Amino acid sequence: MRRREWWRSALTAGWVIAGAVVAILLGAGTSGEWAEVLASLLGFATAITVIAAAVVNWEHIVGDAQNAGLIVDRGER
């Protein structure tokens, strides 16, 4: 079965890019009285970005394994 959910990877990649942009913007504003709040938000945004990148990587690994016939799709059992 071919992988037809290619849009998931593109959508997740978009979220990763958006998270990186937000992290950069929050990093630029870490001077002043809001520094602690922005640093916390920056840490959260970075964590979400790392998780999203891991999801994208996992989707590619599973898709490649399915295409190679190494694993069977749950619907094909």
Distance CA 10, CA 63 (A): 14
Angle (CA) 33 27 43, round 5°: 95
Predicted TM-score (pTM) of this structure: 0.51
Name the more confident of 16 and 5. Answer: 16
Residues with Cβ < 8 Å from 3, sequence gap 6 or more? 63, 66, 67
Query: For residue 1, which amino acid is it?
Result: M
CA torsion 55-56-59-64 (nearest 10°) is -140
Name the average pLDDT for the chain.
Answer: 77
